[in-house]
Structures are given as structure tokens and as C-alpha cells.
Amino acid sequence: MNELIDALMVLLVLMNLRLLGSSRLAACIRIVATEGIALGLLPLLLVWSQTSASSVEPGLSGRMIFLSVASVLTRGVLFPWLLLKAQRDAKVRREAEPFLSYPLSIIAGVLTLVLSFWLRSRLPPSFASGPPLLVPVALSTILVGLLVVVSRRLAISQVLGYIVMENGIYVLGLALVREIPALVEMGVLLDAFVAVFVMSIVTHHISRQFDHIDVDQMDSLKG
């Protein structure tokens, strides 16, 4: 089953690169939503691959399925809905001039991947278990999210970067700690949801106050 997980990881990388190279906000939001849906399926695939490898009875628990469904609904439906609404409110369609141009962003995205694979090779061997692509792709996704947060000007783009970071951390969590208690996982998901919710409300206020959502132009506080 590792091939399927690998394919999903490669898909994640490609979506990250697409996000880095894309200027239309609506397209970016959809890419991130697709990522979220794909990641919601990941725990199910992981459990499936483990059970098929060790040929014990399926470990698909109701808890697992519930978490997957909650994750898909939050990341794949709620987030894009909130963000698309915020985008319509603010009446912006595209990110005009990011600090890092789109071609350079793509190069940087590839570099994060190289860096992540290098990092993985330096990690202690306890990380080597499980599907080989999981850890490096998770690291690279976190870095791509960070890159989007720091290199884009629009508030909504920064929120997208934050979500991508959360996605990466989610994958990392699955790779490092298989059995995170459900309560913790629910708490994390709830936090992510509230974070995006709060950010979209603040974005709404910003667009009302400033008539734009260009965070870079908000620079009255200094020193």
C-alpha cells in the first residue's frame, strides 16, 4: 500500500508547487482545500497499509473514521468556504506582487524539498520507519507554508500559508506519533478551525477599515 501513500505525497508536493506559482486567490484556496481532503484520507491509508503488511484484522476504528471525516469537512469544506467568503468581501482576485516572484517561489519550493530530504537523512534512525516519503514531504510542506506566510502580501494568502503549515504538521504528526490521543487531535483540529475563523473575521475588519487586505501596507506601528 506504500505506493498509494507515496503517490498521495507526490500529489501533495505538486499541489504545494502549484500554490507557490499561482496568483489567483480563488485557485489557491481550492488547491489548499484539495490538499486538506487528500490529507483527511491519509490516516485511513496508513492504517490500511499497516494492517495489510502485518495481516492482522483491520484496525479501522470508528474513532479513526470520525477523525478523518471531521478533518475532511474542516479542511476541505469549511476552510475554503470561509476564505472564499472573505475573498468576495474584500473584492480581491489575485495577489499582484508578492515579495518573492512566482518563478522564484517555485525554485524555493523545490529547494525546500531538497532541504527536507537532506534533513531526513540526518535524522535519527527512529524516524526511518513507515512510508519513506512521509517525513520529508511533511517537512517540505511546513516550509512551503512558512514561505507563503512570509512572502505574500495579502491577508488571505497568509492565512493559506498558515493552513498549509498546519497540513504539514498534521502529516508529520501521523509519521512520528501514530497514536495521538483523539482528544488532542480534536483539540488541534478545533484550534486550526478557530484560527482560520478568527483570521477571516479580522480580514473582514481589515478590508472594511482599509479598503484593502494588503498586510504590507499596514505599517503604522514601528520601533
Partner 1 sequence: MKVSYLLWAVLVLPAAAGGACLLLRSVRAALLWVVVAVGAASAVAAAAAWSVFTGGPIEAGAGWLYLDALSAYHLLLLHAVFLLSSIYAYSYFRREASFGAAQARRFGALWMGSLAAMALVLVSNNLGIVWVGVEATTLLTAFLICTHVSPSSLEATWKYLIMCSVGVAFAFIGTLLVAASAGSSHLATGDALLWTHLRAVAANLDPATLKMGFIFLLVGYGTKTGLVPMHNWLPDAHSQAPAPVSAVFSGFLLNTALYCILRYVPLVEIATKNSHWALDLLVGFGVLSILIAGAFIVFQHDAKRLLAYHSVEHMGIIALGVGLGGLGTFAAMFHVLNHSLCKSLGFCSAGRLGQMYGTHDIAQMAGSAHDAPVWGRGFLLSLLALIGLAPFAIFMSEFQILKAAADRSAFGIMTLFLAGTGVVFVGALRHAIGAAWDPPVRHPTPEHAGVVDRALVLVPLAILLVLGLWMPESLRLALNQAADVIRGLPQKGGF
Partner 2 sequence: MTALLVNILLPLILAPLLPGIINRTKAVMAGRKGQPLFQLYYDLWKLLRKGAVYSRTTSWVFRAGPMVALAAVLTALVIVPLGGSSAPLHFAGDLILLAYLMGLARFFIVLAALDTGSAFEGMGASREVTFAALAEPAFLLGLAALAKLTGSLSLTDILGGLTWQIWSFGAPELAMVAAAVLIVFLTENSRIPVDDPNTHLELTMIHEVMVLDHSGPDFAFILYGSAMKMWILGAILVQIVLPGTGAVSPAHLGVSLAGMIGLAVLVGMVESVMARLRMVRVPQLLLTACAFSVLAIILVLRRS
We find the least distance from the C-beta atom of residue 104 to partner 1, in angstroms, to be: 21
- Which CB sits closer to partner 1, 85 or 103? 85
Whole-Å CA distances, 172 to 69, 108, 140, 196: 19, 21, 10, 20
Say whether residue 146 binds partner 1 (CB under 8 A).
yes
What is the closest distance, in whole angstroms, from the C-beta atom of residue 9 to partner 2 in the complex? 8
Choose the contact partner of 57 out of partner 1, partner 2, none; CB within 5 to 8 A by kind.
Answer: none
Q: Which does 117 bind (CB under 5 to 8 A by kind): partner 2, partner 1, none?
A: partner 2
178 binds, among partner 2, partner 1, none (CB under 5 to 8 A by kind): partner 1
The site that binds partner 2 (CB under 8 A) totals a number of residues, namely 19
| Helix intervals (H) in the chain | 2-20, 25-54, 62-72, 79-90, 102-122, 134-151, 155-176, 182-210
**What are the grid coordinates assigned to 173, written together?**
504528526
DSSP 127: G
Q: Determine how many CB atoms are found less than 10 A away from the CB of residue 158.
A: 20
Q: What are phi and psi of 216, to 5 degrees?
A: -65, -25
For residues 167 and 33, the answer to whether their CB atoms sit within 8 Å is no
If one asks whether residue 41 binds partner 1 (CB under 8 A), the answer comes out as no
Which of the residues 148 through 187 are near partner 1 (CB under 8 A)?
Answer: 149, 155, 158, 162, 165-166, 169, 172-173, 176-181, 183-184, 187
**Is 62 a binder of partner 1 (CB under 8 A)?**
no
The set of cell numbers assigned to 192 is 486550526
In a 3-state reduction of DSSP, which class is residue 221?
Answer: coil
- Among 165, 217, 220, 207, CA closest to 19: 165
Return phi, psi of residue 153, to 5°. Answer: -95, -30
Given candidates 117, 127, 193, 210, which one binds partner 2 under the rule CB under 8 A? 117
Binding status of residue 181 toward partner 2 by CB under 8 A = no
**Residue 198 within binding range of partner 1, rule CB under 8 A:** yes
The answer to the question of residue 115 lying near partner 1 (CB under 8 A) is no
Binding to partner 2 (CB under 8 A) within 132-161 occurs at 132-133
> Which chain residues interact with partner 2 by CB under 8 A?
3, 6-7, 10, 13-14, 17, 21, 102-103, 106-107, 109-110, 113-114, 117, 132-133
